[in-house]
Structure 1
Amino acid sequence: MSTQPPRLSATELAAYFAFTEVSSLLRHAVEKQLKDVGQLSYVQFQLLARLGDAPGGSQRMTDLADGVVYSRSGLTYQAQSLEERGLVTRAPSPEDERSTIVAITAAGREVLAKVFPGHIEAVKSLLFESLTDADVEALARMMTQVSGHLRANPPRSAGRRKAPTSAPASPSASRASSARGSVTD
């Protein structure tokens, strides 16, 4: 018995191609505006915007990575670049020395203020101008539904980090366990 591979209907395929085309065209235009006006990558903009909206202007690095759906190592590189420009600061968390807190600086807020008007104009003119209010409401509802579905089972690099449930075993306990595991019956 052969199993048929899954297929997309003509409507699903058209929706998928339209979505990827819109995403690519919009992202290209937005990235160009962010680079031209603020010398920011899209991820750097997302990082600054999230910090700008966060209480106290700071967040844990892992929470930022989860929010922007970017690998933790990649976001570390982006935060380092922003720190070198004086747009953010990074410091160990006072509650957990394993965590890093990233905070937006006054210079970071100035860059956001400079890029936001053009960013909003690009999004409005390229994405929303051809839609009615009802279309925008439907789009928001659908994309929120899809986002929730995707976030329910994200890739490892985009998944929310779970809190440790127990302390790791000591090295000697691990070696003893490993030695027991290698004994055959």
Structure 2
Amino acid sequence: MSEPTPPALDRTQLGAYFALIEATSLLRHAVEQQLREAGDLSYVQFQLLARLGDAPDGSHSMTELADGVVYSRSGLTYQAGLLEKAGLVTRAPSADDERATTVTITDAGRGVLAKVFPGHIETLQEMLFATLDADGTRELERLLTPVVDHMRALPPRSAKRRRAGSR
């Protein structure tokens, strides 16, 4: 009995995949370096602070943060703990659900965001948007939005059934 032929990508799909991976890797590296130098923040810590900074009351539950940031729950809890230790956020039991934890950005956290944002924007302009005009930027958003929406609609890895014998 012959082995089934594995699915394949055509040249265009493979080229698009490699271009996307390389672009995101290069951009992420530059952003992480800028955040570390300007505010001693990891990328995930910046994401947490930015989401909290954008919230009307400066707060989100850990569940809401986990839904928005692609990171493990235990890793997210650890990062929030580091931010709390640095005085950039506070964590407290939720007033609405005693099982939930609410994270709130502090004035110091807003100060760190204000410090890192100019360089962050400069890095994005230089690395991502320098070769795109307004139409190209809209096209990039048009292409990536349905991909992100599709990926977010799939069940998380932790919710998928495991095959017997796999870990």
Q: How far did 1:47 drift? A: 0.1
**In structure 1, what is the Cα distance between the partners aligned to 2:145 and 2:28?**
18
Q: How far did 1:79 drift? A: 0.2
Corresponding residue number in structure 2 for 1:53: 54
**In structure 1, what is the Cα distance between the partners aligned to 2:158 and 2:105?**
24
> Residue deviations 1:104-161, cap 9 Å, x none?
00000000000000000100110011112211111101111100010111424599xx
**In structure 2, what is the Cα distance between the partners aligned to 1:28 and 1:60?**
28
- Residues 120 and 11 (structure 1), Cα distance of their counterparts in 2 relative to 1, 3 Å cut: same
Where in structure 2 are the equivalents of 1:94-113 lying within 5 Å? Answer: 94-113=95-114
Give the letter aligned to residue 143 of structure 2: M
Corresponding residue number in structure 2 for 1:77: 78
> What secondary structure does 2:49 align onto?
helix
Give the letter aligned to residue 134 of structure 1: D
For structure 2, the residue ranges without an aligned partner over 5 or more in a row are 161-167
Task: List, as ranges, runs of 4+ consecutive aligned residues in structure 1 with deviation greater than 3 Å.
Answer: 156-159
Q: TM-score, normalised by structure 2?
A: 0.91
Corresponding residue number in structure 1 for 2:154: 153
Give the letter aligned to residue 47 of structure 2: Q
Corresponding residue number in structure 2 for 1:35: 36
Count the aligned residue pairs. Answer: 159
Corresponding residue number in structure 1 for 2:90: 89
**In structure 2, what is the Cα distance between the partners aligned to 1:158 and 1:47?**
23
> Residue deviations 1:68-115, cap 9 Å, x none?
121111100000000000000000001111000000000000000000
- Residues 108 and 157 (structure 1), Cα distance of their counterparts in 2 relative to 1, 3 Å cut: farther
> What secondary structure does 2:57 align onto?
helix
> What secondary structure does 1:102 align onto?
strand
**In structure 2, what is the Cα distance between the partners aligned to 1:56 and 1:152?**
27
- Residues 158 and 31 (structure 1), Cα distance of their counterparts in 2 relative to 1, 3 Å cut: farther
**In structure 2, what is the Cα distance between the partners aligned to 1:31 and 1:52?**
19
Q: TM-score, normalised by structure 1?
A: 0.82
| Greater Rg over alpha carbons, structure | 1
For structure 1, the residue ranges without an aligned partner over 5 or more in a row are 160-185
Corresponding residue number in structure 2 for 1:130: 131
Q: How far did 1:63 drift? A: 0.5
Identity %: 65
Corresponding residue number in structure 2 for 1:63: 64
- C-alpha contact (below 8 Å) 1:65/1:158 kept by paired residues: no
Alignment RMSD? 1.5
Corresponding residue number in structure 2 for 1:183: none
Corresponding residue number in structure 1 for 2:121: 120
Corresponding residue number in structure 1 for 2:7: 6
**In structure 2, what is the Cα distance between the partners aligned to 1:108 and 1:12?**
41
